[in-house]
Structure 1
Amino acid sequence: MDFKVRIIGDPVLRKKATKVEKIDDEFKELLDNMTNVMYKEDGVGLAAPQVGISKRFFIMDDGKKLRKVINPEIIEFIGEDVVYEEGCLSIPGIFINVKRPEGIKVRYIDEEGNEIEEELHDYTARIFQHEYDHLEGILFVDKVSTAAKAKFKGKLNELMKEGRKIAKELGEVVIE
C-alpha cells in the first residue's frame, strides 16, 4: 500500500478517530507499511489520520524502541510542563515550541493484542502526546499562542491550500 502523508488543510486530520476493532494480518501489514513511510519521511511518529485512516493507532520510534500503539489512552499526566520544539510530517517546514507535560502514564494495545501500561517521560512522552493528539483531530499548531502562529501564518495558509488540494485529489470532501 502506498501512502501519501496528508497535509494540514485535509479534513481527515481534524476528525476524531474511531477505535480499532480487529487486529489481523492485514492490519499488521498496514502497521508495517506505516512504519516504512515514517522512516522514509524521516519522522519519529506517524498517526493513522496522517495517512488518511481515521482510526485510533499510531507508530512511534524514540530512537530506543519502535512502538505500534493501538487504541491508546493517556491515564495520567506527570510532572511539570516543559517547552520543546516540535514539527510534524503533516505540517512540513514549521517548527514551534510547544508546552506539554514532561511525563504521562499510558495504556494501549500492541500489534500482538497485548495490553501495555507504561510510564513515559521526556522525548518519548512528547512523541506519544503529539501522536495521540492526531487521533483527537488536534495538531501541534493548535497548542501554541496566536502570536507564535503569526510568524508562520503565510506558510500555514500555503500548506492548508496544498492540503485541501491533495484531499480533493484523493476524493475527500473538502469544505472551503
Structure 2
Amino acid sequence: MTERQIRLFGDPVLKTRSAEIVDIDDGVRSLVADLLDSVRLEGRAGVAAPQIGVNLRAFSYNVGESFGYLLNPEIVELRGEPELVDEGCLSVPTLWFPTMRHPEATIRGIDLDGTTVELSGTGVLAQAFQHEVDHLDGLLYLDRLDKPSRREAMKQVRESDWF
C-alpha cells in the first residue's frame, strides 16, 4: 500500500458526507492500509478517507502510543466542558486556530473483521477523534470557528500559496 496525497480545502470531497461501509472487501482493506501508511508521517494525528479522495466512513489515527483505524465511526459520548484547543488540518496546511473540542471522547465503529470496536481518548486523541468524525460528516474544523476567527481563517486561506 502507499501514502496517499492529501486533498486540500476547496476539494468537494471534503464537504460531502461520507458513505457508510457496507461490505468489507479488498477495496476497503486497501483503503485501511493506505490510511495507516498516510498517518504514519510525523505530525499527523489522523487521516480521514475523504482527505485521500475516498468518500467512505473510515479514518486512521496516530497519537502517542495510540495508532490504528476505525470504520463507520460514530461518537457515542463526549465528556467534559468544551474548551478552546489549537487545531490544524492537513487539508488546510499551515493554519492553526483555537477550536472548541471536548477533552474526552468515546467512539464506536468496526474493524476489518466486522467486529465492533469502542475507543476512548483524552486530550489530543479525543480531539483527533472529533476532528476525523467531522471530516466524515463533511465538516472542516474551520466550520466550527466563531465568525471573527473564520473570517480571518478564510483570509489566510485565500492568501496562502497552496490555495
Name the TM-score, length of structure 1 as normaliser.
Answer: 0.83
**What SS class does the counterpart of residue 149 from structure 1 fall into?**
helix
Whether 1:140 and 2:141 are equivalent positions in the alignment is: yes
Instruction: Give SS of 2:80's match.
Output: strand
Q: How many Å separate the matches in 2 of 1:76 and 1:68?
A: 18
Higher RCO (CA < 8 A, seq sep 6+)? 1
What is residue 22 of structure 2 aligned with on the other side?
Answer: 21
Using the TM superposition, give the Cα deviation of residue 92 of structure 1 relative to its aligned residue in structure 2, in angstroms: 0.1
Question: Which structure has the highest helix share of the two?
Answer: 1
Q: CA deviation at 1:161?
A: 8.1
Please list the CA deviations of residues 88-112 of structure 1 after superposition, one character each: whole Å capped at 9, or x if unmatched. 0000000011111111222111233
1:101 and 1:21 map into 2 onto residues whose CA distance is 30
Change (3 A) 1:31 1:159: farther
Alpha-carbon distance, 1:159 to partner: 5.7
Name the CA distance, whole Å, in 2 between partners of 1:160 and 1:112: 42
- Spell out the pairing of 1:9-158 with structure 2 (5 A cutoff): 9-40=10-41, 42-158=43-159
Q: Which runs of 5+ in 2 are unaligned?
A: none
**Per-residue deviation, 1:120:** 2.3
Taking every aligned residue pair, what percent have the same amino acid on both sides?
A: 31
Q: Deviations over 1:53-107 (max 9, x none)?
A: 1110000111112121100111122111122101100000000111111112221
Q: State TM-score, norm by structure 2.
A: 0.89
> Which has the larger displacement, 52-61 or 33-42?
33-42
CA-CA distance at 1:117 after TM superposition:
2.0
Q: CA RMSD in A?
A: 2.0
More displaced stretch, 69-78 vs 102-111: 102-111
- The higher radius of gyration belongs to 1
Q: CA deviation at 1:40?
A: 3.5
Moved more, 31-40 or 123-132: 31-40
For each residue in 1:145-175, what CA deviation from the matched residue of structure 2 results, as whole angstroms up to 9, or x when unmatched?
A: 121123333321256983xxxxxxxxxxxxx
2:14·2:139 contact (CA, 8 Å) conserved in 1?
A: yes
How far apart in 1 are the matches of 2:160 and 2:13?
A: 15
Structure 1: how far apart are the matches of 2:43 and 2:120?
25
* SS of alignment partner, residue 103 of structure 2: strand
Q: Partner amino acid for 2:91?
A: S
Point out 4+ residue stretches in structure 1 off by more than 6 angstroms.
Answer: none
Aligned to 1:170: none
Paired with 2:46 and 2:3, the residues of 1 have a C-alpha distance of 17
Which structure 1 residue ranges, 5 or more long, are not aligned?
Answer: 163-176
Query: 3-state DSSP class of the match of 1:68?
Result: strand
